[in-house]
Structure 1
Amino acid sequence: MNATKQQHYLDLPNFFKPNLVKKVYRIPYQQRAVDAEAWATENHIKPASTDRKRVGLLLIDVQNTFCIPDFELFVGGISGMGAVEDNIRLCEFIYRNLGLITEIIPTMDSHTAMQIFHPLFWVNDRGNHPEPATMISLTDVQQGKWQVNPEVAYSLVHGDVNQLAQYALHYVQKLNDDGKYPLTIWPYHSMLGGIGHALVSAVEEAVFFHSIARKSQASFELKGSNPLTENYSVLSPEVLDGADGKIIAQKNTALIKKLIDFDRLVIAGQAKSHCVAWTIDNLLTEIQNIDINLAKKIYLLEDCTSPVVIPGVVDFTSQADEAFQKFAAAGMNLIKSTDIIF
């Protein structure tokens, strides 16, 4: 796409302060509702129901746990402040294009303590849990380097430790066979009911403002609560069946249809190398099964997403860039938040 710089459709509202994007704060909802309706009147913004072209904005996991410095899995990216910088641009994009975005769909990574990618699930022969950022391979499980913690079986599979151990082996085997990332142990994050689970305050404020101004309810999508599988993509868990072949999870077919039905779909969020890339890859697979030309209506905000980079430990920048080049080659549009797309 040969996008050019746009004359911004709307000015930024006075209450938006870029320096607050890295903070957690309370949204004054009632005042923002008043502001949004006045804003809509002043700028002649019509209800989303009147849109001739329906534009969706998919916000992937723009949550405190990934986007606020010092939270559990802050996505610093190459600059070290990636997610904060991304979200400043994202908020500006939402406000400046408020009258053109039909619906906003925020996804919410949603976890509890006992999940296959959290330390508690695994132990070594000394009874120690793996440290965050440990990658557990098929060989590790086959050789017993890492084993299922028998004490979690009570909560997860009614105490059947053998069943859980068989499943764990099946799980890493499946990841290996499908060419996916090895099982990564993450810090406890996006804990359901916790502060880390919430949307970034400035982004939540922009989403709420859009809902009121455009009379369009934001459509929240929770993912990742199944304890027996990772769920990087909002469209599908990493593993769908158990060792016995029985289904343990399913694709989000309703959301897939919703996204494909938009006239244009814009995608941003965290992290570029994981949940964003996996979601887009799943969406591309669905599109290829229907009509590859549908890829042309997908727009990826490259300056509103960053890869996972843990200095001295792991850097997924190249994997993220390779994924996005694959998406562009398939027909999707790689753009910046200041480009004309409407």
Structure 2
Amino acid sequence: MNSLPSPSFFDSEKVSQFWRVPYQKRANEAKQWREKYQITSSVEDKTKIILLLIDVQNTFCLPDFELFVAGKSGNGAVEDNIRLCQFIYRNLANVTTIAATMDTHTAMQIFHPIFWVDEKGNHPQAGITMISYEDVKQGRWQVNQNIANNLNISWQKLEKYALHYVKQLIENSKYPLTIWPYHSMLGGIGHGLVSSVEEALFFHSIVRSSQTQFEIKGDNPLTENYSVLSPEVLENKQGEKIAKKNTQFLNKLLSYDKVIIAGQAKSHCVAWTIEDLLTEIKQKDPNLATKVYLLEDCTSPVVIPNVVDFSAQAEEAFQGFADAGMQRVISSAAWRK
């Protein structure tokens, strides 16, 4: 089917804001849209296409929120989501399923300030503190005893785990433990999808009779979870499981004929998810990489002026994905069944 227009209710000026989606009104309009353009149910798709959206949540995508992904332009995530919404509406009849990951946190997690204290009882400064193996080994940063009480783990055991954790990050060539601002908090506004994107997903769901799939990640207090497919650390020092891979969702992705990926941030959760997907593809059949499409203009790297810029790391990762056979594309490219 040829590209469809965006519905009249879509307003690019509202993508940077949060607001209530009028579900019933959009459902009625979706029925009319389906009839006007003779759009069939997703179950009739001969080519099955899944659009995977990584953490398109207020906390990462709105300028006034905790971890806004500004990218190089300074307004990256907003610009990405304008293009993303337009892509969804344009390809409404082509995309079979949309899956959205939901970064989900509570206060007392290993990457939040309250988890750690120095010898004076001060918490690390969020956003600029990275805790290394040497920091923990030498006691510059220790586990907050109150955290142990809340997690029902002895402080001594949690201290040993923390040392093991930061060591594992080094050995697995991951980013050092970053202490992030409190973000994407369960029950808070930041946890919700960007309103314009949520509206597009709901509209797609009704038009195509295709339930949006939501994948929760990041709620384990003992590990970071950049990738929706696997947490950063799976076991404690004794080899006991503390988390597990999302094998069910991984297999679901690979069951589709095309996998299209967008979201935030290109240098972190997007890159880590694609890396895990590629690792599985290489084990199963390297040729499967060619069915993965990376929407380059619907994702941005973490850039904090005068603090940190992950653009180079993001580019290196995406070039590696392309070298393995994945396809780097832009959202305005023609998509056909």
TM-score, normalised relative to structure 2: 0.98
| Structure-2 residue corresponding to 1:160 | 154
- Alignment partner of 1:273: what SS? coil
- Alignment partner of 1:299: what SS? strand
- Alignment partner of 2:249: what SS? helix
* Residue 222 (structure 2) aligned to one of 215, 228, 243: 228
The answer to whether 1:182 aligns with 2:190 is no
Inter-partner Cα distance in structure 1 for 2:95 and 2:263:
16
The answer to whether 1:137 aligns with 2:138 is no
The answer to whether 1:102 aligns with 2:96 is yes
Inter-partner Cα distance in structure 2 for 1:79 and 1:146:
35
- Alignment partner of 2:269: what SS? helix
Spell out the pairing of 1:122-271 with structure 2 (5 A cutoff).
122-133=116-127, 134-156=129-151, 158-271=152-265
Inter-partner Cα distance in structure 2 for 1:24 and 1:218:
20
Shift of 1:61: 0.2
Q: Deviations 1:202-249 (Å, cap 9, x if unpaired)?
A: 000000000000000001000000000000000000000012210010
- Alignment partner of 1:19: what SS? helix
Spell out the pairing of 1:39-54 with structure 2 (5 A cutoff).
39-54=33-48
Spell out the pairing of 1:6-155 with structure 2 (5 A cutoff).
9-133=3-127, 134-155=129-150
Percent identical residues: 62
The answer to whether 1:327 aligns with 2:324 is no
Inter-partner Cα distance in structure 2 for 1:151 and 1:211:
44
Inter-partner Cα distance in structure 1 for 2:183 and 2:277:
25
| Structure-2 residue corresponding to 1:296 | 290
Inter-partner Cα distance in structure 2 for 1:23 and 1:261:
35
Q: Which consecutive unaligned segments of at least 5 residues does structure 1 have?
A: 1-6
Inter-partner Cα distance in structure 2 for 1:132 and 1:76:
17
Q: Give the alignment's Cα RMSD to 1 decimal.
A: 0.9
Inter-partner Cα distance in structure 1 for 2:180 and 2:190:
14
Inter-partner Cα distance in structure 1 for 2:5 and 2:172:
47
Q: Deviations 1:165-213 (Å, cap 9, x if unpaired)?
A: 0000000010011111000000000000100000000000000000000
What code does the residue aligned with 1:148 have?
Answer: V
Dislocated runs of 4+, deviation >2 Å: none
| Structure-1 residue corresponding to 2:272 | 278
- Paired positions, count: 335
Q: Deviations 1:282-308 (Å, cap 9, x if unpaired)?
A: 000000000000000000000000000
Shift of 1:341: 3.3
Inter-partner Cα distance in structure 2 for 1:128 and 1:329:
45
Inter-partner Cα distance in structure 2 for 1:320 and 1:146:
29
Inter-partner Cα distance in structure 2 for 1:91 and 1:279:
21
Whether the 8 Å contact between 2:91 and 2:335 is mirrored in structure 1 is no
Return 89-98 or 309-318, whichever deviates more: 309-318
- Alignment partner of 1:234: what SS? coil
What code does the residue aligned with 1:46 have?
Answer: T
What code does the residue aligned with 2:48 have?
Answer: R
What code does the residue aligned with 1:192 have?
Answer: L
Inter-partner Cα distance in structure 1 for 2:2 and 2:122:
55
